Chain A
Amino acid sequence: MSSYIYSSSAICTIDFSSKVDILKSLVRIEKNKSLHEPVYKEFVNPMLLRRMSKATKMSVVCALKCLKEIGDANPNAIIVGTGLGAIIDTEKFLTITSQIKSSMLPPTAFIQSGHNSIAGQIALLLKNDAYNMTHVQQGLSFEYALKDAMLTLQEGGELALVGAADEHSPLLQNLAEKLHLEEPVLNQLFTGAAFFALGSSAKNAKAKIKIVSICSFTAIKSSLVAELAKLGLSLNNLDIGFVGFNLADVTLEKLPFKLINYTNYTGRFLSSAAVGLHLATHYMQYADTYPKYAAVINVASKDKLGIIIIERV
């Protein structure tokens, strides 16, 4: 069973609105620490928006845009990956309970602090009663969500909505400093979300997902070679690689294709591989050259690597 990307949408530092080679407009995160955001209320009732965390708001809009593009279809699965969940609401509720001694506490921050509030809100907005799942595994949260989405297609599902989101906050920045995280990590921590509609038909698809792997690794090159070999491919078949770093920076060996360090442009967050995949998908469609294969390489930690390989359709 093959998995195809029917549509994808991201909210991050990058403006994806132009249908041109995206590599020409990338700006480093240190010089552009702002999200390129849509007008949320054009997509969601402002009354509802007020009750959504940042990550939920971004996710809901990405999800709606993905589905709109394919004719507002209702998915058979809603699957979300998030490394830290609604960390801002978590902080808010911790503050409330530390400061208010009354037995009457406002519940909103607690309700929104749940890791599955993103997937739950998407289901609620779509009135969708299908499979609803949330994966929370550090820097690999998106890859695990994506693998689950592909499994739902294998099980007979026609359409899976899958995505990821993580939010940065002043408290996280403060903790990162106190925990002595080093440059460039310290200056690159940020926020982002991306969603995808996946299905098993090649018709009108933007790209084909060839493989999603989670590997224990010592070197990137050998892991990539091993994953490509499973597809009967070699390093020379890859036209481009988008490599992202979470908290760990590892040395990159020389590779025989163009390599873009995407977290230099999107910032670092635990589920940044989702934005990496959106970047790769966008590049596939609008690059000046005609790339056939692209890899998204997510250095999740010093010994765990996520590898996604997509093919032009």
Chain B
Amino acid sequence: MKVFVTGIGVVTALGIGANANLKALQNAHSGIGLSSLLKGLTVPTYVGELGFTNDELKAQLGIATHESLPRTALLGILAAKEALGDTLLKGDRSGFISGTTVGGMDLTENYFKEALGEDDTNIASVKTHDLGTVTNLIANYCGTPNYVNTISTACSSSANSILLGARMVKAGLLDRVLVGGSDALSKFTINGFRSLMIYANQPCKPFDANRTGLNLGEGAGYILLENETSILISENSIKAELTGWYNANDAFHQTGTSPNGDGAFKAMKGALKVAKLTPKNIDYINAHGTATQNNDSSELNALTRLFKSQHIAFSSTKSYTGHTLGASGGIEAVFSILSLINQCVYPILNWSSAMDQIFEQPVTNYQANTKTNNVMSNSFGFGGNSTSLIFSKV
């Protein structure tokens, strides 16, 4: 059973919608800047922030201002609605799987701070803390699918929600499923990555020899997967085929990845096998490329092991959006599909010096009219979680 992509929706610091995001990627416009919306940060912080307040997002969605919705849900609803278009998810053959790590933390952390000062006015906001509740809030805008689930595997969460949806469609368990994920910026995650000493005090430089760490970003990315039976009913046009997926574990360290990128290597190799492709079939790799010392070195080693001396076009779009954590797999899936549709490859930003490793340099100039038939998208997370997806031109 083939798994087709028939809808895409995306929200990042580059803007709302696939067109706005594509335009920024094609024109090398980064969305990373100093945070202006997130309250309570102790130092100026480079982030990939969507320039609308929660109230502005609610207004765009027709949601009353007094309704308490975490930002992760608001971003998710915007992207989910775009990906679905006119398609409604209904009943036993439809599903919605969302990947997230932040969930309702933005509201929780504000309440928590107030509660320490013994103010319980906003206690109701903890009701939307848990990830499943945030998924349900987004699902309310998608119809009434019976299967509604959340995957949380750190930075590979939404890549894994895509993988799970693909496996279920392939196994005949679902005909259509909206997959991807959403994560908002929060002080919790910014402080967390700061505590690990991997947060950059400047715009991030993925795959650069002088990289100093990551910037967090926010956003959501969803894609609609359908089998042939479902497309006959929906009459949606096919945007791409999801041909490869694989999840493996690095089993090396709680937060770090192995120097040789064993998990990454196994995930990429596994995805190629599922897609029945070989390394030479891959035309562009949207790398995980967080700009931490550890990830980029480990990922580059895994790429070198797999692609050997073969020329390969790769870049990391985290230099535009920041690292959107659980949403990154969904967002970068949309970027990968846009690369297939528009036959183009996006350049990496802020890159100037090659890492000391035997591999091609990342793509530094926008490439149009490419012959891009297969795009690989990588997502690696804490807990050794490594996922690789392959999207193919139809």
Contacts and interface: CB of A to CB of B under 8 A. Distances in A.
Interface in A123-143: 123-124, 126-138, 140-141
A137 B249 contact: no
A201 B6 CA distance: 39
Contact of A135 (B150, B195, B381): B150
Given A110-B196, A111-B254, A129-B250, A214 B188 contact: no
Contacts of B309: none
B263 A117 contact: no
Given A103-B43, A131-B247, A134-B153, A94 B254 contact: no
B116 interface: yes
B355 interface: no
B146 A216 contact: yes
B109 A94 contact: yes
Given A129-B250, A155-B171, A214 B194 contact: no
Interface in B86-119: 101, 108-109, 112-113, 116
A84 B149 CA distance: 14
Given A93-B192, A94-B188, A105-B194, A128 B120 contact: no
B123 A178 contact: yes
Given A115-B101, A132-B249, A179-B127, A97 B385 contact: no
Interface in B154-207: 154, 160, 164, 167-168, 171, 173, 187-188, 191-192, 194-196
Contact of B116 (A98, A136, A175, A178): A98
A85 interface: yes
A84 B167 CA distance: 25
A93 B195 CA distance: 10
B53 interface: no
Contact of A111 (B124, B255, B381): B255
Contacts of B152: 85, 114-116, 134, 136
Nearest to A152: B167
Contacts of A179: 123-124, 126-127
Interface residues of A, number: 54
Contacts of B382: 111, 114, 116-117, 120
Contacts of A105: 191, 194-195
B130 A123 contact: no
A129 B192 contact: no
Contacts of B151: 133-136
B113 A98 contact: yes
Contacts of A129: 248-251, 262-263, 266
A144 interface: yes
Residue from B101, B151, B160, B187 with most neighbouring chain A CB atoms (10 Å): B151
B11 interface: no
Interface string B245-266: 0011111111100000011001
Contacts of B373: none
A137 B135 contact: yes
B292 to A, nearest CB: 14
Given A94-B109, A97-B187, A120 B254 contact: yes
B35 interface: no
A50 interface: no
A119 B383 contact: yes
A226 to B, nearest CB: 12
B266 A133 contact: no
Given A124-B254, A138-B132, A155-B171, A144 B149 contact: yes
Given A107-B192, A127-B251, A116 B381 contact: yes
B385 A120 contact: yes
A32 B254 CA distance: 35
Contacts of B164: 133, 148
Given A94-B188, A97-B187, A97-B188, A132 B383 contact: yes
B3 to A, nearest CB: 14
B57 interface: no
Given A105-B195, A111-B254, A136-B131, A116 B126 contact: no
B141 interface: no
Contacts of A144: 149
Interface string A80-119: 0001110000100111011001011111001101111101
B154 A114 contact: yes
A226 B43 CA distance: 58
A175 B126 contact: yes
A223 interface: no
Given A178-B120, A214-B146, 18 more contacts: A78-B249, A93-B191, A98-B112, A107-B195, A107-B196, A110-B188, A110-B196, A117-B383, A120-B249, A120-B382, A123-B249, A129-B250, A133-B151, A134-B151, A134-B153, A137-B148, A140-B132, A155-B171
14 contacts: A83-B130, A84-B130, A93-B191, A95-B116, A97-B187, A104-B195, A119-B383, A120-B385, A127-B251, A129-B249, A130-B248, A154-B171, A155-B167, A178-B123
- Across chains A and B, which 8 residue pairs bring their CB atoms closest together, nearest first? A120-B383, A110-B192, A138-B132, A105-B195, A115-B152, A107-B195, A137-B132, A132-B249
